[in-house]
Amino acid sequence: MIKLQNIQKYFYKGEPREVHALNDISLTIKKGEFLALTGSSGCGKTTLLNAIGVLDSIDSGEIYLGNKEISQLTKDEKTDIRLNDIGFVFQAYNLVPVLNVRENISFIMKLQGTAQEIIDARVIEVANILEIQDKLDSLPSLLSGGQQQRVAVARAVASRPKIILADEPTANLDSKNSKALMDMMRELNRVEDVTIVFASHDEFVVNSVDRVIKLDDGKLL
């Protein structure tokens, strides 16, 4: 599903000195995996997640999604990859505040030009899995943090991406909601056969996945 070869990423501090954000990372992620990138703050896990999702560029190396090298694509080609192949779940939810839950979940599918009857059926399907079917007409501001994060997951998975990238999805949740969210994402992983990659230092997330990738100072341990 995903293959990274000798990934290098530098941050520059406004002087000749450079900082290795990612240092010669090589990694293979198979289809259907449920795994976490972990390590202390600043270790490079979010930078690596963003590189996989072509949200950030890399300085050298290659990133493959299937058989396609994606790190050197044009801006428009990367946008197309993010729209059609990758679902994102962010720590801050990033829901559209003026859209209700149904509209937020539908958002990516509408951008893809999916037929309305397919959108309607899919919204109900993922809302039932994530137990937010009674919130479809509510605005995000009326939902709890846990419910908003479920909506964010529903939006990410609704368009049937090949992979979901989740950056610290439990950071704003209590232990009960963290467990509920991880159980539901595990169910999505099983039912939808979608590859899910977390970036998290939350021990609950790390203990819930099948495989843990640990980083330290930009290096793969």
Q: What is the pLDDT of residues 195-207, one digit of tens each?
A: 999 999 999 999 9
CA angle, corner 48, sides to 80 and 127, nearest 5?
60
Nearest to 195 by CA among 186, 207, 182, 204: 186
Does residue 215 lie within any of the structural domains?
Answer: yes
pLDDT of residue 123: 96
Q: Residues of 100-118 as b/e, b for ≥16 C-beta within 10 angstroms?
A: bbbbbbbbbbeeeebeeee
- SS3 assignment, position 209: coil
Confidence band of 90 (pLDDT split at 50, 70, 90): confident
Q: Band of the pLDDT at 92, cuts 50, 70, 90?
A: confident
- Does residue 15 register a pLDDT over 90? no
Output the average pLDDT for the chain.
92
| Spatial distance between the Cα atoms of 188 and 180, rounded to a whole number of angstroms | 12
**Residue 83, domain CATH:** 3.40.50.300
Flag whether 88 is in a domain.
yes
Token duo for residue 81: 């990859």
Confidence band (pLDDT; 50, 70, 90) for 41? confident
Ordered DSSP codes for 129-141: HTT-GGGTTS-GG
- pLDDT band, very low/low/confident/very high, at 9 (cuts 50, 70, 90): very high
DSSP 15: S
Q: Give a yes or no: residue 45 inside a domain.
A: yes
User: pLDDT grade, residue 184 (50/70/90)?
Assistant: confident
213 vs 206: CA distance, rounded Å: 9
* pTM (2 d.p.): 0.90
Question: Does the residue 66 lie in any domain?
Answer: no
113 within domain boundaries: yes
Residue 17, pLDDT > 60, answer no
How many domains, in total, are found in the chain?
Answer: 1
**Enclosing domain of residue 199:** 32-57+75-220
Q: Tell me if 205 is assigned to some domain.
A: yes
Three-state SS for 60?
Answer: strand
pLDDT for residue 16:
54
Average pLDDT of the residues in 33-47: 93
Is residue 14 over pLDDT 70?
no
63 part of a folded domain: no
Residue 121 lies in a domain: yes
- Averaged pLDDT for residues 98-125: 96
